[in-house]
Structures are given as C-alpha cells and as structure tokens.
Amino acid sequence: MLSEQNQIWLDKAYNLLQEKMKRELERVGSKIPFAAINGQFHDLMMPDGISWWTNGFWTGLLWQMYHATKEEDYKAVAQETEERLAEALVTFDKLNHDVGFMFMPSSVANYRLTQNAKSKSRALHAANLLAGRFNPTGEFLRAWDTNSFGSGDVRGFMIIDSLMNLPLLYWASEETGDPRFAAIANKHAFTSLHSILRPDGSCNHIAAFDPESGEFLGGIGGQGYGEGSSWSRGQAWAVYGYALTYRYTKKEEFLNAAKQCAHYCISSLAMSNWLPLSDFRASAEPVKYDSAAAAIIACGLLELAEQVSEYETSLYTGAAIQMLKAVEEKFANWNLEEDGILTGNATMYHDDRLSGMSIIYGDYYFLEAILRLKEKAIMIW
C-alpha cells in the first residue's frame, strides 16, 4: 500500500509516460534506437548494427505499453521491430551472451502475449546460442568475443551482466521440458557466487578464468572505476539477476545473494540522495551518474519484494520508490518533442561520449518499474 503522496507521484509519472510513449511511437516507429542525440533517436547507431546488445529494449517498451494500455499500434510496431531484429540470428556475427537482453523483451514477450510460434522459435534459437557459450570446465557462460577494454584474451571472461540473460535459459527449459538450459544457468549462477560477488554484496564487473583449466584467476574492474570498485549498473544487474534466478530456482543461495546486493545498493544510494553514482566506489570527483542503474535496481527491488515475507516488502518497495522519484526529478525529460525519457545515463565509467543522454535501456527499466508499481507490467524476464 503506497502513501497518498507516493500514489499521486506514481499516477502522474504513469500519465506522463503514456503521453511520451505515444509521441515516441509516432516518431520512432520500427527504428531500433540506442541513445537520444540532441533529443532524437536514430536507427541502429552503433557499429555492431543489428547485433548490438540493446536492440531488444525499444520492442520491450512497446510490449510493456501494449500490455498496459491494450492499444494495438504498440503491438504492430513491436512485431515489425522484432522481424528486423531476427536478422541478427541469421547473420550470427557479433552476437554474444547478451542475446537474452535482445530476445527476452522482443520474442519472448511477443510469445508470452500472443503465442506467436515464430517468436517462440526465435527465442529458442537465441537460448541455444547462449547455452553454446557455456564453458564446462570453469562452469560459466563466456561473455564477449572481443575485448572492449583493449587487446587480450577474453575466452575466460564471465561478467555480472550475464545474470540478467539467464532467464532466457530458464524460459527455454520451461518451454521445451529440456532441463539442460536451466542446468547451465544454475551452474553459471553458482559459479558467480564465489567469483564475481564479494561477501559485502558488492561485485566485480568481470571475473577472469583460465578458459582451458577453468581455474579462477581474479576480478577485473571492466566498465567500472577500477580494480575493486563497484560499477553501479553491474550492481544493478546483480540485484535483479539474483532475484530472478531465485524466482526460477527457489534456491535460498540466490535469494540471499539478491538481498546482500540489494542492501549494499540501498545503503550506497542512500548516501547520494538516492541518485546513482556511476560507480559506488570511485573518487569523489568528478561526480558521474548512471540513471539507468537506479531504474534497474528499482526493478530488482520490486522483484525481490514479491519473493520475500510480508514483513520485508516495505524495505524493498520503499527504497525502489525513493530511487525512482530521485531520478525522475533530476533526469526525466518530459518534453514531448524530444525522444528519450531518462537522461543522465553513462555507458561505462571511463567513457563520457554518451554520458548525460537518454539510453534505451534506462527508459525501458524506468517504464518497467513504474508499471510494476501500477500492477500493469508484463513479466518479460
């Protein structure tokens, strides 16, 4: 039960989102956007083209809006966009562990809402690609095929983001009755508990393994500030990823991991007026934010609130609302003539090229969080 003040804020945010999404739908259509440059989304702006990891989020926004409003235009454009995205499965080039981010908000969402058989086979295709990245000696899913942080061997890289791709494997096992997908997801999630997650609830972005022997070699800062730091979007993937892993497995280890990460994130955000620093363990200056981290953490906390006892829910729901209100106040762009909802994004700590802009995944998780609070969200993950 929300306070009257929070309910008023929520209703207002939902109304603003409806207006904004309606206008964006008209302007953007079946383009596949990433970042709003000068208030404008462009089609496939990243060099990886159709295989870029964020390409499912626009479709996810449209499916969430269709589910919430039942307006057919959202469904029609979501389906057109998915047809385009399916090309990535044909070319295969540059696809990696992020196929869950690409095909859960598109094909799985479509299949869940419409039972579209083509969407089901696309999502199963993606699940098979993800399962094929499993390293059986190290028991983890290989993240990337190339190193964005310079040269070097990435065959043994596991990253925290992969936790959010595991639901594709759990979904595939549920759909097919074949336990192999879920078994791979379980192995990866257990490996992450003792390699990438730290005992205090913070985590590394990257854990490196010897790809031949599977020996754990150590943690790497990756998209965060540096060694031993705490990249906030990675922390967000950990909260939401472990909460979802618990939803699918009901294994206590993952519930405890999700709570550990959640408590760490809540205390870190409480120290910065609920605004998400890009890394929770960076130098005080310069101040860098990543608004998407707060939106993702909020979704993770709202997921966790559904998994815990009635006496624990208010902690997670209350903290989620604080974060959403803070980012909405500082970063939301409600100008109907401009694309993008949540400004204040950052792709990684040491790359300022897109910082401050709206990035599509930030918009997606902000919308999902608001719809979760309104009890209008479709469960995509």
Which element (helix H / strand E) includes 6? Answer: helix 4-28
- Mind giving me the DSSP string for 275-314? --BSBTTS-SSS--B-HHHHHHHHHHHHHHHHHS-TTTHH
Kindly state whether residue 161 participates in binding ligand GLY, applying the rule CB under 6 A.
yes
| Catalytic residue (choose from 161, 279, 339, 363) | 161
Provide the residue type at 280 as one letter: F
Q: Strand order of the sheet with strand 216-220? A: 157-159, 206-209, 216-220
Nearest residue to ligand GLY by CB is 161
Q: What is the dihedral of CA 77, 78, 81, 85, to 10 degrees?
A: -170
**Minimum gap (Å) between residue 133 Cβ and ligand GLY:** 14
Provide the residue type at 179 as one letter: P
Closer residue to ligand GLY in complex, CB, 55/110: 55
CA 52 to CA 119: how far, in whole Å? 19
Kindly state whether residue 53 participates in binding ligand GLY, applying the rule CB under 6 A.
yes
Under a CB-based contact definition with an 8 Å cutoff, are residues 158 and 206 in contact?
A: yes
Residue in 20, 67, 188, 233 binding ligand GLY, rule: CB under 6 A? 233
Active site residue 73: no
Closer residue to ligand GLY in complex, CB, 24/161: 161
Q: What character string, x for contact with ligand GLY (CB under 6 A) and - otherwise, covers 94-113?
A: ----x---------------
**Minimum gap (Å) between residue 177 Cβ and ligand GLY:** 30
Under a CB-based contact definition with an 8 Å cutoff, are residues 316 and 330 in contact?
A: no
Closer residue to ligand GLY in complex, CB, 36/164: 164
**Minimum gap (Å) between residue 87 Cβ and ligand GLY:** 20
Closer residue to ligand GLY in complex, CB, 161/328: 161
Active site residue 339: no
Residues that bind ligand GLY (CB under 6 A): 53, 98, 161, 233
Active-site positions read 98, 161
